[in-house]
Structure 1
Amino acid sequence: MADALGNSFLIVVLPLYIASGEVTGDFFGFSESLITGLVIGLFGLVSSFCQPFTGRISDKMGKRRLFVLVGLFIFMLANFSYSIAHNYTALLIIRAIQGLAAALTITATLALVSEVSSNGNRGGNMGVYNAFRLIGFGIGPLASGALVEGGPYHLPIVGEFNGFMAAFALAAIAALVSFLLVAFFVHDPEDIEPNSEGMIIRFRSREPGKFLDPIFTLGLATLFMSMGFALLAPIELEVNERLSQGAFLFSVEFSALIGSMAILQPIIGKASDKYGRRIFIIIGLVCLIPIIIAEGLATQPWHMITARALHGISAAMVFAPALALAGDLAKKGQAAAQLSVLTVAFGLGISLGAFLTGYAIRFGFVVPFIIGAVLAAIGAVLVKTQVPKGEIAKS
């Protein structure tokens, strides 16, 4: 939660930071919206590329906690580095470093959650983990929006500094808190042993009548679901102009999705332990179709807030059950590498969603949202046809 709070500060702060005049220079003649999309999306792109490798190394070493600690330490340094970055190249380099740090922490953390769970409670445990992370992710934009608007600040020793510097400093402090919590309270499971097998990510199904591997299919569904998360971030200025609002209301809209998703993750995860994972995933993806389109048609702040809250409920029906089902299917000692399929998909979806919006907004405000709705429909079809109804016991 503390880690996510620090990182989510940047979702709202970076677009405003780029537009404020604090960042100078020209990046290949790109528009400001497209540069913003690149800066926001590069994090997920680098993280997604690195996660299968960091996950596999974690499996081979039989270490989880070490990877989490190293990643959080790098996060702390990178978050503070924004305060001295004043050109687009520096921002992109820092975001790339953050992506590497995320690759170290994400797969190891989810593998830990999966390995201390059983098939009968994995959904609930994944829901609790995601809920706390999303609480931090939701509070961050709210706090950062208020922090930026409330600046400049003055402290007796430090002197005067603006809202951007305050946000970057607090993001670094949040990463430090995360590091200390893990260092003192988290330990590797005693039964985890190094696994020397090669990369075990499959694309084709071994089940007759199915084309795609079920874990890979769940990754695709997660990819399409997560693209909806990032549709607003690169076009914050356009959203604020369309809805006649400021940074704080945008933060409320962004956090409405996270808040509703956080509240329902443990409940839906626990329900998936009892009633099955697949049905929740399909219903969630189907519900995303009209909800994402409604976001593109919003003309008042309350329209967007309502749609984003419903978006969070539908996303909760996809995310925790999908992670739990992937954990059910993963082989012992290979959890980090196989769960990386979903974590990669989630991060890649955030990146692609940012890139998509930054580019497609030129064709009309509603266009990125229509594309997001179509992708949710494709995800529902894939899960319906390629993922088996019954969960497969972990071997």
Structure 2
Amino acid sequence: MRKLVGWLVAQFAVDRRVLALAFARMADGIGNSFLIIVIPLYVASDVVGGPTFGLAESMIIGVILSLFGFLNSSFQPLTGRLSDRFGRRKPFILVGLAGLAVTNLAYVLAETYVALVVIRGLQGVSVSFIIPASVALVNELATTDDRGGNMGVYNTFRLIGFGAGPVAAGAVVNLGPYRLGGLTLGGFDAAFAVATVTATIGFLLVTVLITDPESTQANAGADLSIDVFDRSGSNLLDPIFTLGVVSLFMAAAIALFATIQPQVNARLEQGSTWFGLQFAAFIVAQIVLQTPIGRACDRYGRRPFILGGMIVLVPSTLVQGFVLTSEAMFLARLAQGIAGAMVFAPALALAGDLAPEGESGSKLSVLTMAFGFGIAVGPFASGALVGYGFAAPFVFGTVLASLGAILVYTQVEETLETTASVSLPFVGGD
């Protein structure tokens, strides 16, 4: 394993621990995204029963899935701050991965809707330990010269895991039961076992290959407050807080598409295969572009890419409300993926540039928390607005993207000196 990691480090030109962490997040991402497909099937099966408290089956599924994101995002500022306070990242990541492994296995024993809600809620809390500490660790293992590239590599592998899980999940369930020696394993049990194994693999990778930087503990216990307004007085809003708001707007605009599959398919007269391709286009663009854009922002600056991405997000979101062919929707989603790749890694890198030593967990959790809330807000908004017309959700997302671009242009300044001599046509000067 160490030889493989060493070879990959040479290929990707990042710290060995960053790559090991990226692989760990890829592994747990496979298992966690597995559940996005498996849980609705499990709820709809005959295995689960018990009181529904007057809720329809579809509403129960929505509660179970959304609770994960809500608790995950809500707890991130707390866990990020605690990891700063103790000056340790690795233990927090291990606690989260262990929690995921245990709760994945617990699904095998769950036979009521209430049990599923409790387990999924605990998983949300577990992941809240992983995300801020992981991003903070990547930030602290990087330097100003390579922070964007490190963030890009980390996000690339994490997204590979997240994208691979749903592809395999349905097949694992449908091909069951499995016979292993004298043991018979049902499709659902096999899926939960896969999720447990991937979380365990992530745990082992972190245990063996990752250590905390000495500087993290040396700077523990610093001022961990989150500023809303800019203390320097050069802008109205604090730049990290601004990037958090922008991340929320971007995530909400991107997530509008997820919950209106019936309306999209009816409008475009297409089947579920086309919808799956359109949904995947965003993730594919992210996987392909995160690393090169991250490295490019180390050379040309963070702000041009963030602002450019938010500008691209405006038309790519709006056009989805008016396209009439499956091919056009696919291209629009691909453009959204490009926009997201231009924003995500450079925004984390810029926030990392600004975060004082020992405060990465607190500062960067603002962005990761906001992104998580945006992913939750988007589907809710599209479900509520689509009744006013197919274009209504996408017009709403366009407004958010436009506001985000304005915030970046007026409230965020460049952190790299290299951009002083670089002029990109789509952003103008500072």
How high is the TM-score relative to the length of structure 2?
A: 0.82
Structure 2 unmatched runs, 5+: 1-25, 419-430
Q: C-alpha displacement at 1:74, in angstroms?
A: 0.4
Q: Which of the numbers 196, 200, 204 marks the counterpart of 2:229? A: 204
Structure 1 window deviating more from structure 2 (233-242 vs 172-181): it is 233-242
Preserved contact between residue 215 and residue 357 of structure 2 (Cα < 8 Å): no
Partner of 1:187: 211
After superposing on structure 2, the runs of 4+ consecutive aligned residues of structure 1 that deviate more than 6 Å are none
Preserved contact between residue 34 and residue 358 of structure 1 (Cα < 8 Å): no
SS at the partner of 1:155?
A: strand
Does 2:292 match 1:267?
A: yes
Does 2:233 match 1:215?
A: no
Q: C-alpha displacement at 1:304, in angstroms?
A: 4.2
Does 2:140 match 1:140?
A: no
Q: C-alpha displacement at 1:46, in angstroms?
A: 0.9
Partner of 1:48: 73
Q: Which of the numbers 169, 174, 181 marks the counterpart of 2:198? A: 174
Q: C-alpha displacement at 1:343, in angstroms?
A: 1.1
Partner of 1:326: 351
Query: CA offsets, 1:264-304, max 9 Å, x none?
Result: 01111111111111111111112122222344456665444
RMSD: 2.7
Partner of 1:351: 376
Q: C-alpha displacement at 1:363, in angstroms?
A: 4.1
Q: 1:221 to 1:33 in 2, by over 3 A?
A: farther
Q: C-alpha displacement at 1:38, in angstroms?
A: 3.1
Partner of 1:286: 311
Q: C-alpha displacement at 1:322, in angstroms?
A: 0.2
Query: Of the two, which has the highest radius of gyration?
Result: 2
Q: C-alpha displacement at 1:73, in angstroms?
A: 0.7
- Separation in structure 1 between the aligned mates of residue 39 and residue 322 of structure 2, nearest angstrom: 25
- Separation in structure 1 between the aligned mates of residue 313 and residue 382 of structure 2, nearest angstrom: 17
The one-letter code sitting in structure 1 at the alignment partner of 2:353 is D
SS at the partner of 1:159?
A: strand
Q: C-alpha displacement at 1:352, in angstroms?
A: 1.8
Does 2:343 match 1:336?
A: no
The one-letter code sitting in structure 1 at the alignment partner of 2:134 is T
Identity across matched positions, percent? 47
Partner of 1:112: 137
Q: C-alpha displacement at 1:258, in angstroms?
A: 1.3
Preserved contact between residue 76 and residue 176 of structure 1 (Cα < 8 Å): yes
Q: 1:240 to 1:20 in 2, by over 3 A?
A: farther
Structure number with greater CO (CA < 8 Å, separation at least 6) is 1
Partner of 2:28: 3
Partner of 1:311: 336
The one-letter code sitting in structure 2 at the alignment partner of 1:245 is G
The one-letter code sitting in structure 1 at the alignment partner of 2:95 is V
Preserved contact between residue 72 and residue 178 of structure 1 (Cα < 8 Å): yes
Partner of 2:21: none
Preserved contact between residue 220 and residue 345 of structure 1 (Cα < 8 Å): yes
Preserved contact between residue 38 and residue 355 of structure 1 (Cα < 8 Å): no
Partner of 1:95: 120
The one-letter code sitting in structure 2 at the alignment partner of 1:282 is L
The one-letter code sitting in structure 1 at the alignment partner of 2:247 is T
Preserved contact between residue 43 and residue 351 of structure 1 (Cα < 8 Å): no
Preserved contact between residue 145 and residue 251 of structure 1 (Cα < 8 Å): no
Q: C-alpha displacement at 1:386, in angstroms?
A: 0.9
Q: 1:28 to 1:368 in 2, by over 3 A?
A: farther
Structure 1 unmatched runs, 5+: none
Does 2:271 match 1:245?
A: yes
Partner of 1:380: 405
Q: C-alpha displacement at 1:99, in angstroms?
A: 1.4
- Separation in structure 1 between the aligned mates of residue 330 and residue 105 of structure 2, nearest angstrom: 31
Partner of 1:80: 105
